[in-house]
Amino acid sequence: MKNLLFSALLAALLAALLAPSSASFAEVPFQRPAGAGEVSEAAAGYAAIFTCSAHFFAGRAADDIRRLELVDLARLNLSAPSIDTRRSLVRSVHKGHEAIAAFRPTMGCTLLPPNWSAADVGRLPYVDYPTAPDLSDVPFPAGDDARPRPNAQQRAVLEAAFDGEMYGDGTVTVGVVILKDGELVGERYRDGFGVHSGYRTWSTAKSISSTLIGIAQRDGLLSVSAPANIPEWQYLDDPRQQITLEHLLHMSSGLYSEGANTNAIYFAGQDVISAATTTHLVAEPGTRWKYANNDTLLLLRALRATLGDDLRYLRYPYDELFHRIGMYHTRMETDHLGNFIGSSQVYTTARDLARFALLYLQRGTWGTEQIFPAAWADYVVQAAPALPRETGEQGYGAQFWLLDTLPGVPPGTYTTAGNKGQFATVVPAHNMVIVRTGIDPNGKRWQHDQFIIDAVAAYGS
């Protein structure tokens, strides 16, 4: 093990020094090992990126954003972020540090690195595509025409989801969408939100990133059993070359990380490459399960390198997934170097998440198209070998959580899961999809297993 650690450390150092990446340490001054950092030191960036996406993409008012999205920063006494509507910028300042987030309609919001100014926005990667079509008269799920008529029991479940008590004291639900047999049968939104106003997915984005890997495997671009194509690891006898895409999908890379802490990437402008590709092995790949944002980010780094075409990479989620199933109100945001921050930073709506989960319920089929092979729907729910299943506990597959051993939850149920209560859940036993999005304050936990049980009882027959 000592030799493994020494080799890994040496390879990581050489990769950082020699890799021909535009994300050099000299160019980007804010660097943290594995992209970890305290939210308090990146508070300005947190305020800027959340305000940017919520205001420019979701159309939310600044006061409501401050009251909901920024509630966890209240103890820091931040000044209100400044919204520049003419240039589509948000500025936030905390303890002398200014953070700037820039919005582009087709790209969502991007946090600039600390050494950039507003004059550098033109340097950001950009891709263009047509605006979302008007689908108001097209029946859901292909379009937006849906008129659910819940009965009294069903209405009671929807109302309870928003009362801030029934499924977790102090929780704040944004939206609920329930599908049965492909039909939208239940839907409700918090005041100020609606069918086309979204919220950050947080780690529900990981399941979307996994799906892109499944699509790329469908096309023969890569194989999950093959080593991950990470250019920064292709030096000497770098032991990280033994990490496969499957190891990354199963959160079993063995790499050093601080788990869910990648705050320097999310909120301080560090790029994905300098954070995720420069850490060393601390365990043999495949032998340790550890939830790690960087494992997901490395999946997308491998996809970008494999495609070998930055424009194709930037269009890939839209051309191959989102627009093919009607997710026109979804943005997969990037860092300033054009790397998708696909472990968290997807902005989407409850209806688009319902479409995504329905695609899995239909085993990759959408209309007459096969978006991903049916076998992929089976693959993502196979338990990660390094995390044995335990009755009564959640399991983990390929960037999806397995809920089927929780008491009262129907067999075969699985879900995406994101911070602050983002869930897109597939219930095959009842041919149902259950979506809940939220802005739960830190320390408040949405009881999703009980909500599934109640929703199935009300809508599942």
Stretch 52-59: mean pLDDT: 96
Q: What is the pLDDT of residues 371-410, one digit of tens each?
A: 999 999 999 999 999 999 999 999 999 999 999 999 999 9
Residue 236 domain flag: no
Residue 178 domain flag: yes
Residue 316 domain flag: no
Residue 375 domain flag: yes
Residue 189 domain flag: yes
Q: What is the pLDDT of residues 124-165, one digit of tens each?
A: 999 999 888 999 999 999 999 999 999 999 999 999 999 999
The overall average pLDDT reported for the chain is 93
Q: Residue 417's domain is classified under what CATH number?
A: 3.40.710.10
Residue 104 domain flag: no
Domain, as residue range, for 438: 152-201+344-459
Q: What is the pLDDT of residues 408-448, one digit of tens each?
A: 999 999 999 999 999 999 999 999 999 999 999 999 999 99
Backbone angles phi, psi at 98, to 5 degrees: -100, 135
Residue 159 domain flag: yes
Strand partners, 104: 108
Those residues whose C-beta lies under 8 Å from the C-beta of residue 411, and which sit 6 or more positions away, are: 404, 429
Overall pTM surpassing 0.75 (yes/no): yes
Residue 447 domain flag: yes
Q: What is the pLDDT of residues 176-216, one digit of tens each?
A: 999 999 999 999 999 999 999 889 999 999 999 999 999 99
The count of domains in the chain is: 1
Quick one: tokens of 277?
Answer: 């590709």
The rounded distance, in Å, linking the Cα atoms of 177 and 84 is 33
